[in-house]
Amino acid sequence: MITRRTENVITPVEGDDIFPVLHTRLFQSTGTPAQRRTVADAYGDYYAEQFGGALPAVYRDPVYRDRIEAAYPFHPELIDPLTHRWGSLSGFQRTRDAHSIKALHAEGRVSPLIHPGDIPLHDPGVRAEILKITGGSYLSTLNADIIREDSRARIEDQRRGGEIERLRLAAKLATTAFVNSFGSDRVLGASDAQMAVGVGRPGLSRGALEDVRDTVRNVAWYMRYEGGRYRFTTEPNLNKVIVERESAVPEDTIAELLEEATKSVAPAKSPWRTQTGVLGSADVRDEPRLTLALLDPEHRVEPSEPGTVGDAAHLRDEEVVGSNPATPTAQHRVRPAQEVS
C-alpha cells in the first residue's frame, strides 16, 4: 500500500474579513447595527463637511461608511496598516496586538472609534511589541517626540491647553505618522489625508487639526516631511540641530544681544525719554516727561494659555508704574483702541 499526506492549504484572513474575527475574539458585543451605523454616518458627514475634496474620494464614498460600520469600534485606518503594512512583518500578531490596543484605549477613550493615533505607545507592553518591528533604536525617537511628558508633541499639547490638550492631539498626530513609518510598502509615511483620518473625529475642526499637525512637523526632532508624507526616522532633523545650537549660546551673551537690539530700535529723540533694563518702579526716574520704559528681558511674558499675554503684561505694567504717583497710569497714557482706529 502506498500512502501520502494530504496537503491542507490554509489561507490567512485577508482584507475586511479580519473585522468579524476581531469582534469575535475581542468583544462580547459591538452594539446594535443602528448604533454602528449612526457612528459611521457621523464620520462620513464629518469627512464631507470638514475636508471635502481635500480627502481622497475613497474616504467620502458611501462604501467607506460601510467599512467604518463593519470595523467598529476600530477605525478601518487602524486595521489597514496592521494588515497591509505590518501583517507581513516578523513578530507581528494582528489580533493579539489589537487586543492590547483595545484594552488600553478603553481606559481613556474620548472618541467613538479607536484611531491609529490612539495606539498607546506610552504603554511598556505595546511599545515593546512595536519595537520588535521597528528596532530598539527607535526608542530614542519615541522618547524625544511622543511618549515622555517632556517630549516635543506632549509639550505642544500642554502649550495649547483646552480641548487640544484633552485630546492630546499633537501626540496622536505624531503617533499616526509613527505607525505609518514602517511596513512592507515601498512608500512609507502618512499622507496629509492619513494624518487627518488618523485622528479626525466629529467635533474636531479641520483648521485646528491642520494647525497642530504643521506645528508638530516644525518642532519634532525625528520627523521628516518628504514627498508629501510624514514619517519618523532615527536620525535627528534640522529642528533638533537648531535647538542644540541655540542652547549652546550662554545666557549672558543672549542678554547682551537683547540689550544692543533694544537700544538700536528704542526712540532716542524728543519728546521721548527711553529707559531700558527696567526691573521695577524704582528704576523709572520721577520726571514729568513722556517716558518709554522697556522691561528687562527677565520679565518676559510666557503665558500657559492663549489669551493671557495682555493680562500678564497689564499686571507687570501696574508693578512698574502703578506705585509711582508722578507717572500716569497705563489707562491715561494710552488712547483707547477705538480712538486710534
32 and 169: one domain?
Answer: yes
For cell 493671557, what's the residue?
308
Domain endpoint, select from 242, 262, 296: 242
168 and 22: one domain?
Answer: yes
335 and 257: one domain?
Answer: yes
pTM metric for this prediction: 0.70
119 and 238: one domain?
Answer: yes
Q: Judge whether 174 lies within some domain.
A: yes
Determine the pLDDT at residue 7: 42
52 and 113: one domain?
Answer: yes
Residue 265 binned pLDDT confidence (cut-offs 50, 70, 90): confident
209 and 61: one domain?
Answer: yes
Q: Judge whether 3 lies within some domain.
A: no
Q: pLDDT tens-digit profile of 39-96? A: 999 999 999 999 999 999 999 999 999 999 999 988 999 887 777 666 544 444 554 5
Q: pLDDT tens-digit profile of 176-234? A: 999 999 876 677 899 999 999 999 999 999 999 999 999 999 999 999 999 999 999 99
Q: What is the C-alpha to C-alpha distance for residues 60 and 68, in angstroms, rounded to an integer?
A: 12
230 and 254: one domain?
Answer: no
Q: Judge whether 279 lies within some domain.
A: yes
Over 60: is that where the pLDDT of 334 sits? Answer: no
Mean per-residue pLDDT over the chain, rounded: 79
Q: What average pLDDT does range 294-322 have in this prediction? A: 55
64 and 114: one domain?
Answer: yes
Determine the pLDDT at residue 66: 96
Q: Where are the alpha helices (DSSP H) in the chain?
A: 18-26, 33-46, 57-60, 62-71, 76-80, 94-105, 124-134, 139-142, 152-160, 162-167, 169-179, 192-199, 206-219, 238-247, 251-265, 309-321, 330-333, 337-340
Q: pLDDT tens-digit profile of 113-160? A: 999 999 889 888 888 888 888 889 999 999 999 999 999 999 999 999
Domain endpoint, select from 215, 242, 269: 242
64 and 198: one domain?
Answer: yes
219 and 309: one domain?
Answer: no
Q: What one-character DSSP code corresponds to residue 7?
A: P
182 and 56: one domain?
Answer: yes
Q: How many folded domains does the chain comprise?
A: 2
214 and 295: one domain?
Answer: no
Determine the pLDDT at residue 330: 38
Domain endpoint, select from 242, 265, 300: 242
Residue-number span of the structural domain to which 190 is assigned: 15-242
Determine the pLDDT at residue 115: 93
